[in-house]
Structure 1
Amino acid sequence: MNDLEDDRADYGDRAEAVLDRGGLDALVRALKRRGRTVIGPTVRDGAIVLDELDSADELPHGWGVELEAGHYRIRRRPDGAAFAHSAGPQSWKTYLHPERVRQWTVDRHPVDGPTVRAEEPRIVSYAFLGVRPCDLRAIRILDRVMGGGRHRDPDYVSRRTGAFLVAVECTEPGATCFCVSMGAGPGVDAGYDLALTELVDASGHRFLCRSGSEEGAAVLAELPRRSADEAVRAAASRVVREAAEHMGRSMPPVDLRSLMRDSLDAERWDDVTSRCLSCGNCTMVCPTCFCTTTEDVTDLTGDHAERWRRWD
């Protein structure tokens, strides 16, 4: 286990309850009362994107997506579901590992000479609402690379430590989703503080909510809720199972590490490169890409300079 891993994996006394839509809004309020910045999906500019939420009303209720290779469209749903969409064009990496981070500044004084000031990590207490199982897996990879070992990234650690994760099990995968073949969904098993399974059927609109940490259980205890019965548990299990059965794609059972190592000179890479526009979209959408470069900038006087780290 690396330094960022906590009691979520081994937490045993798990609470479970059923929330209605009002309970979902109460969840957002409870997290904000604890001083957390709540980030979740919302509709903006013709897409379902991640942004800061003030209430659960800002979630994409009644919106779904059409997703295929090279195609993305949002569409209206008749059921008012909040999370019946596949992962969107962003990932949580945007908040844990931002695109640009200033590392230090230097000012030149005519008498005292240059003064260098290291940039202190920005302390943000995040609550991520709507984290998909595949996103949980991606965050664990970033934890291992940027939060573990000898070369920990202090900015990442400051943002990641203590982040409250509300996972949502997938009930409607996209045509390009393949989490089942990777053992990464559509259900969640660990790495969350709270997990939601959304149900919209003849019995109404509700969420089976279960805790995965002590803090998750404490937050759940603050919410208006009712006990979960076997009918709700069976319905939640069924919608996740059906999502697994309707997965759009699957990865072949191969050793990807060996495949990549042994195909470095394949003509396929030249084909991809010939069509690359250097737009950077692959870096933006990949939930685990952590490659960075540095850039130095100075003002017109030459007396002030800054160093920034940015995605490469």
Structure 2
Amino acid sequence: MNHFLAREDFPHLLSALTQAGYGCVGPQIRQGAIVFDHLHSVTQLPQGWQDEQQPAHYRLQQTDSPYWFNWSNGASAIKPYTFAPQENLWTVQRDQSGRLRFQATLPQPQKTAIIGVRACDLAALALQDQHFLHGKHVDPYYQARRESLLLIGVNCTHAAATCFCVSTGDGPDIRQPYDLLLSEIAAGFLLSSGSTAGATLAAQLPLTPASDAQQHTAQQRMQAATQQQRHLPAKPPLFAHLDHPHWQTVGARCLACGNCTSVCPTCFCHQAVEIPDLDGDTSRHERRWDSCFQPGHSYIHGWQIRSNATDYYRQWLTHKLAGWHEQFGRSGCTGCGRCISWCPAGIDLTAEVEQLV
């Protein structure tokens, strides 16, 4: 990182993004959690706030520090900005002759700059790209949103107790493609560009060369790797242990609420829903997020393949940590730990894997 942006000059970045036609999204506090939302001013950023996370535990606490990004991660990753939680895919209308006419309803998203993206979430985005963009059939709905994004990453400075991105190889320092990359110190940010769009924006900012002292300070603040205590094997042999009695133990604790799949930055299960209008001539076809913890997820021709929490959890964990290797060449977990923090039963997938293998 060769450039430095003073904290008082950070509004110049928001102005440059706005002038370039981007709507800004950044971390903010909503209902006791840090989430991404529309950002209009630096005063909306969570200055001084830190997170405390444990299994089934997420709390924020206010400090008097000047830092805006002194937290590990929030409840939501950036997945909703590419894979929409609910969207209309097409409409169908019956004409006067009785024929059905289908019309795709592709999104027209505004250009959006997301500020504060973490390494684990960029790794998750790469997996989503692999599924929606790099397969045999490109998803045009995902593609439209993905191409509208400009990603501004911020390196993590500390890890939550639930983080384990080091063991998955996805963090905590950012290596995935980004447009701009920031490392926060008290006086401001070390900055580097990773794309043509990022370099164009950087050229509009009041940057100065980063001093050796500033670079050293930024490096010293990046302690997230040494703070992580949890670990996940690269490819646990879960398919060889499908009858392990521990599945019943964890199934007895699981509430099948689907929180883990909702906060997971890589899950992409969805369902199709038909919404007919009252006139009987028009209907909308929607795609909505779904979860393998929902009873209807495995319903096929009058038979439900998985019907209890033990089956749901086994399906989720084996697919995420083992089956994805066959599909994508790697695990579907990027070590963000959200599923641990936001599980109301405090189920910890790293601990469950230890028991299973």
TM-score normalised over the length of structure 2: 0.77
Q: Is the deviation greater in 188-197 or in 118-127? A: 118-127
Match among 281, 286, 289 for residue 308 of structure 1: 286
Say which SS state the counterpart of residue 102 (structure 1) adopts. Answer: strand
CA contact (8 A) 2:110 2:148 kept: no
Distance in 1, Cα, partners of 2:197 & 2:2: 13
Asked if 1:99 corresponds to 2:72, the answer is no
Say which SS state the counterpart of residue 92 (structure 2) adopts. Answer: strand
Show the counterpart of 2:268.
290
Task: Give the deviation of 1:215 after TM superposition.
Answer: 1.8
Show the counterpart of 1:123.
109
Distance in 2, Cα, partners of 1:102 & 1:155: 10
Tell me how many residue pairs correspond in the alignment. 290
Q: AA paired with 1:84?
A: N
Distance in 2, Cα, partners of 1:199 & 1:304: 56
Task: Give the deviation of 1:266 after TM superposition.
Answer: 2.8
Asked if 1:235 corresponds to 2:217, the answer is yes
Do the aligned partners of residues 113 and 181 (structure 1) sit closer, same or farther apart at CA in structure 2, a change above 3 Å counting?
closer
Q: AA paired with 2:184?
A: E
Asked if 1:188 corresponds to 2:168, the answer is no
Distance in 2, Cα, partners of 1:311 & 1:270: 27
Distance in 1, Cα, partners of 2:217 & 2:126: 29
Show the counterpart of 1:8.
none
Asked if 1:262 corresponds to 2:226, the answer is no
Do the aligned partners of residues 271 and 37 (structure 1) sit closer, same or farther apart at CA in structure 2, a change above 3 Å counting?
farther
CA contact (8 A) 2:107 2:144 kept: yes
Q: AA paired with 1:215?
A: A
Show the counterpart of 1:47.
33
Asked if 1:246 corresponds to 2:232, the answer is no
Q: After superposition, where does 1:134-283 map in structure 2 within 5 Å?
A: 134-200=120-186, 205-240=187-222, 242-251=223-232, 253-256=233-236, 259-283=237-261
Unaligned stretches of 5+ residues in structure 1: 1-14
Distance in 2, Cα, partners of 1:274 & 1:144: 34
Q: AA paired with 2:45?
A: L
More helix as a share of residues:
2
Q: AA paired with 1:263?
A: H
Say which SS state the counterpart of residue 148 (structure 1) adopts. Answer: coil
Task: Give the deviation of 1:254 after TM superposition.
Answer: 4.6
Percent identical across equivalent pairs? Answer: 39
Q: Is the deviation greater in 117-126 or in 271-280? A: 271-280
Q: AA paired with 1:249?
A: R
Distance in 2, Cα, partners of 1:270 & 1:118: 44
Q: Is the deviation greater in 266-275 or in 151-160? A: 266-275
Distance in 2, Cα, partners of 1:302 & 1:270: 47
Distance in 1, Cα, partners of 2:153 & 2:180: 6
Q: After superposition, where does 1:3-152 map in structure 2 within 5 Å?
A: 16-111=2-97, 113-152=99-138
Do the aligned partners of residues 116 and 28 (structure 1) sit closer, same or farther apart at CA in structure 2, a change above 3 Å counting?
same
CA contact (8 A) 1:16 1:211 kept: no
Distance in 2, Cα, partners of 1:151 & 1:112: 31
Distance in 2, Cα, partners of 1:230 & 1:283: 43
Task: Give the deviation of 1:37 after TM superposition.
Answer: 1.9
Unaligned stretches of 5+ residues in structure 2: 291-357
Task: Give the deviation of 1:112 after TM superposition.
Answer: 5.6
Show the counterpart of 2:316.
none
Task: Give the deviation of 1:268 after TM superposition.
Answer: 3.2
